[in-house]
Structure 1
């Protein structure tokens, strides 16, 4: 491949950012402009000489613009191999002129998806001619420069100025790679949407696509490369959030912030303020209270040691009172739907502390996909959209839970959904008081959670741990009574668990013997 002078460009864009300046720069460099529809009108209104694609092909745009560029005079100009005698003869015979630069960005399908457009509107936002031209130009990048986003306009002009109106093979290859990736991501969004519309839970082909949101310094560890990509999903959270201040987010920050905010969204902001503190993707303190400041204090009390350097997620607008308390210890990230001006000023005093506002809370009941890579493939499952408030509990013990115990049971089970399995969560007065996560044995998780509660009690100068009189949640059934025994030893008086073990009767009998109230949810929350 060699440097190829650009003498003729076809421009057809839905995103007209920077269009006029770029097209004018091309025109002043002697490049002939060909364009379509609204793009051609915009260029003409700006006083630029432009040939409408209809004049090039000899056919008008038709069928509401669905057919305009699918023509040999367009694709022949893009795909012809320069210097090939047979191709040159075909071009001369059919009056096909070469196209050296293709500038196309696609119909805004992803934007239509984000605004929940109607089915018919979504279909009309599926681009056909654009991807076809992009793929043709990209295949022929030995001779054709292809641009799919305004961010690359400047690079093309710089190379033209440095190379006598030509672009280099290196730039053309890089832009072609980006172009193929763009059409792949575009088609992935369409395929995922249409599969869902068709009720296909397991389509024959599953494609993933996203746009680069941020290149990261490294991944989980410094020797791993990493980047953050946004998909077409419009779910509120770390991907949609605006970072108001602080250092650049790291791979681990993004992962942990997502975990924290998804849990915060489980708590109805209209009912109470909620605070979630996460460390290494596991909650180390969660609480509800009348105010965010109170919720933060209660959440922090669960495990103040682990909270150091953690992520704080809130279900309401960050206010000054809560901000003052949060900044008292080292915190990596705060994420909330919004932050008032006084709170922003308080956080600003900690210049490295990242403050994110997401605009809204994600809907914990909304359908979606959870994806994980494995060697040679990836696993896809539906998002765990089961919400504790919607569950019909079945009391299985002689004693029914009190109203306070019932509230704590639902609270604890809501948190357990977001704790790595095996998960045990003790809660009292709508706050976690002990969390055991990620153990190979459920009894170990129960004991670790109780020990953490004892440590927190000592740090707070309490006579006994707050697991005394608490409710305990298990993300899955107790396979043996020993896990329940550990909870009894910790002082729990109520238990919430999915049930379904072959030894349920044994576990229920042990609960009755200890005077506990126990309810089954029928729903398991494994989180591996």
Structure 2
């Protein structure tokens, strides 16, 4: 097997015509014969690029609405034949099979068709058959055949041909073969995932995930870990689709925390009013709503000023100059928002390391999806937590009923608790978190830690009492004992929202009544491990 293999004949069949004419002209100028099909051949011919129809090679016309055109021994033989195998060469000569040294194929836009909401039959028609078959054949025979599946590889291909006098190196062909198999794998994953959804099969026998490299990261959670960032092709607003306007390259931890921040703030749609979330290590240090983004930011910051340092700030509205000025008063890693006005961007430009991302919208918290997590020997898959409750879903279980103002804070606290690592306890007052306890092994400890943080902030701000006095408290799961609830009561909470469902609910309700609390059950929990 030679390292260099000269390209004398190419087969081009592309759905995405971007760069097609330039590529065809470049190949023809290098004396390479071009075989092509349907729309690709017509586009090349229209620009004066000499093309031979695949149907001339196969002896069969394209048929069945284009479903059958390249599935033929004279095509696949030309892709699969080993040039250094006498029997293969003899078969090619005996059956008039031309060698194909270069395959350029991109596939029917199945993913885009699904994303556009097309009906079942349209999606089926956009499943490519001949393309993946040719790609896999060419990739298998990369000892002799170069396969290109991405428009981004057109320029590297031409540079490789120029560097090797019209040939490609084995290392180059090997690299493109890997890219090709990854593309067909991702394509098949998209088809199988879509079909499982169409069949309402929540646990298909085989499950595949795929992504496209967005960024090779400097390292992972720690410097000794390598890491990369991949996009899954969805159009959900967030860190993967955001535009970065300034600042250093995002790190693994930046991306993880920024995603957590934006998903949380997206619980508050623009119609709910301005909202801001400040995240540290994937947990909120402060979340608030306000009459303006500036007010919301200040209230969120006042929940835990210590943890806000070096955090991630997410906003549900367009960043303005006043809010930008306030954010830059402390060190902040990343700011993500649907947009930012020119004045805000000028202010951020003074902080060259501060990353600013814009998403052109907030994410809909009700949009279904899946999450997955690797474990030893496999991975766990579940529906995304899109559970939401409203006033009508609440069941008052205590003698005292919450007021309308208390109900607003209870629902706000519940939305935040959904995004806090279990065991989660969240104190809220006047539309702002005033204490957050996250990720503890007991709910009692979470309640205690959140209260202690509130006490510390009251001292730092010179307040006469912690803001937990008169607050609403949310627990992401039921209180298994009354102790956690009593700790919240001791911190000053006056209302409680929790799922209920404990064997000791009666005990907990009785403790709430004795403490004069109003408590509601949601019958829904929000574990986030």
TM-score of the pair, normalised by structure 1: 0.98
Partner of 2:313: 312
Q: Give per-residue Cα distances to partners, 1:257-281, cap 9 Å, x unaligned.
A: 1100111111121121100000000
How do 1:104-123 residues align onto structure 2 when only pairs under 5 Å count? 104-123=105-124
Task: Indicate the SS of the match to 2:270.
Answer: coil
Structure 1 residue 349, shift from structure 2 partner = 1.9
Contact 1:391–1:521 (8 Å) recurs in 2: no
Structure 1: where are the runs of 5+ without partners? none
What is the Cα deviation at residue 156 of structure 1? Answer: 2.1
Q: Distance in 2 between matches of 1:328 and 1:230?
A: 33
Equivalent residues in 2 for 1:287-436, closer than 5 Å: 287-389=288-390, 392-436=393-437
SS at match of 1:126: coil
Counterparts of 1:388 and 1:456, CA distance in 2: 31
* 1:69 equivalent in structure 2: 70
1:338-382 alpha-carbon deviations (Å, 9 max, x no partner):
112222222222121111111121111111001100111110000
Residue 46 of structure 2: aligned partner:
45
The aligned counterpart of 1:84 is 85
Contact between 2:265 and 2:275, CA under 8 Å: does it hold in 1?
Answer: yes
Q: Do the aligned residues in 1 keep the contact of 2:269 with 2:362 (CA within 8 Å)? A: no
Give 1:85 shift: 1.9
C-alpha contact 1:113 1:232 (8 A) present in aligned 2:
no
Would you say the 8 A contact 2:428–2:434 is kept in 1? yes
Q: Deviations over 1:169-198 (max 9, x none)?
A: 111111101100111011111111111111
Instruction: Give the distance between the partners of 2:381 and 2:294, measured in 1 at CA.
Output: 38
In structure 2, what is the equivalent of residue 193 of structure 1? Answer: 194
Cα distance in 2, alignment partners of residues 280 and 527 from structure 1: 14
* Aligned residues of 2:277 and 2:300 also touching (Cα < 8 A): yes
Task: Please state whether the residue corresponding to 1:270 is helix, strand or coil.
Answer: helix
After TM superposition, give the deviation of residue 68 of structure 1 in Å: 1.2
Partners of 1:120 and 1:308 in 2: how far apart? 53
The number of residue pairs the alignment matches comes to 528
Instruction: Report if aligned partners of 1:104, 1:148 keep a CA contact under 8 Å in 2.
Output: yes
Compare 123-132 and 470-479 and name the one that shifted more: 123-132
Question: Separation in 2 of the partners of 1:194 and 1:235?
Answer: 20
Q: Distance in 2 between matches of 1:115 and 1:278?
A: 33
Q: Secondary structure at the match of 2:103?
A: strand
8 Å Cα contact 1:189/1:232 also seen in 2: no
Shift of 1:390: 7.0
Larger deviation: 505-514 or 311-320? 311-320
In structure 1, the residue matched to 2:219 is: 218
Hey, which bits of structure 1, 4+ residues long, moved more than 3 A? Answer: 388-391
Q: CA separation in 1, counterparts of 2:254 and 2:294?
A: 23
TM-score (norm 2): 0.98
Q: Distance in 2 between matches of 1:107 and 1:343?
A: 42
- Counterparts of 1:231-250 in structure 2 under 5 Å? 231-250=232-251
- 1:124 CA drift (Å): 2.1
348-357 vs 439-448, which deviates more? 348-357
Match of 1:450 in 2: 451
The question of 1:175 aligning with 2:176 is answered: yes
| Paired residue secondary structure (1:373) | strand
- Cα displacement (A) at 1:391: 6.3
Mean CA deviation greater in 314-323 or 210-219: 314-323
Q: Tell me how far apart the structure 2 counterparts of residues 84 and 514 of structure 1 sit (CA, whole Å).
A: 87
CA change 1:391–1:94 in 2 (3 A) is farther
1:232-285 deviation per Cα after TM superposition (whole angstroms, max 9, x unaligned): 322221111111111111111110011001111111211211000000000000
Q: Which runs of 5+ in 2 are unaligned?
A: none
Offset at residue 158 of structure 1 (A): 2.3
Partner residue in 2 for 1:6? 7
CA RMSD of aligned residues (A): 1.2
Tell me the SS of whatever aligns to 2:393. Answer: coil
Look up the match of 1:261: 262
1:503 alignment partner in structure 2 = 504
Distance (whole Å) between structure 2 residues aligned to residue 470 and residue 525 of structure 1: 20
> Counterpart of 1:182 in 2: which secondary structure?
helix
- Answer with 403-412 or 230-239: which moved more: 230-239
